[in-house]
């Protein structure tokens, strides 16, 4: 009996240390220059896929179960057609001006202009769209993957 208890205790201790190690792996502090030094890609999971948009994964993996944060950099004068995502997401505008709206089509009358420091949500399954002006924009988006990008009208989805 005591041998079983000792084995069970050792197993629990190992599980506890494994949890501690994975928590340590999630400790992350990045300065803007460090973020700029991370690998950037084009259309990745959780983005619109529009040409010219650059994405950097800051935390996690948007293709896997778990929390993630991506930095999305949209160049000047970009329009992103109405689409939705399967996961709940929130975002903060970090630079530039992001013009964001909710709806099944990109209607400029539904847009709210969001300067740096603005916050918005992208509820799961709710269609939204965005655009930039001459300054472009950088937005940090957080969600719980896996994510998707589902265009309201398939014809508006960017072609690979």
pLDDT bracket for residue 43 (50, 70, 90): low
**SS3 (DSSP) at 36:** helix
The CA distance from 146 to 62, in Å, is 5
Residue among 30, 23, 76 nearest 57 (CA):
30
What is the per-residue pLDDT across 3-16, written as a single tens digit (0 to 9) for each? Answer: 554 444 434 333 34
What is the per-residue pLDDT across 70-124, written as a single tens digit (0 to 9) for each? Answer: 999 999 999 999 999 999 999 999 999 999 999 999 999 999 999 999 999 999 9
Residue among 147, 143, 100 nearest 119 (CA):
100
| Cis check: omega of the bond before 146, within 30 degrees of 0 | yes
Question: Two tokens at 83?
Answer: 């689409």
**SS3 (DSSP) at 44:** coil
What is the model's pLDDT at position 54? Answer: 92
CB of 74 closer than 8 Å to CB of 51: no
The pLDDT of 9-38, averaged and rounded, is 64
């Amino acid at each position: 009996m005591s041998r079983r208890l000792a084995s069970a205790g050792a197993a629990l201790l190992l599980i506890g240390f494994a949890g501690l190690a994975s928590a340590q792996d999630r400790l992350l502090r990045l300065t803007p220059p460090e973020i700029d030094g991370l690998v950037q890609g084009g259309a990745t999971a959780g983005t619109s896929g529009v040409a010219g948009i650059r994405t950097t994964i800051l935390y996690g993996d948007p293709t896997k179960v778990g929390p993630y944060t991506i930095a999305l950099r949209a160049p000047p004068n970009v329009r992103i057609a109405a689409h939705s995502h399967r996961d709940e997401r929130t975002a903060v505008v970090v630079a530039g001006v992001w013009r964001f709206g909710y709806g099944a089509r990109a209607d400029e009358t539904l847009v709210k202009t969001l300067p740096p420091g603005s916050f918005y949500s992208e509820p799961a399954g709710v269609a939204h769209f965005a655009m930039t002006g001459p300054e472009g924009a950088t937005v940090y988006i957080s969600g719980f993957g896996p994510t998707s990008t589902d265009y309201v009208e398939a014809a508006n989805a960017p072609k690979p």
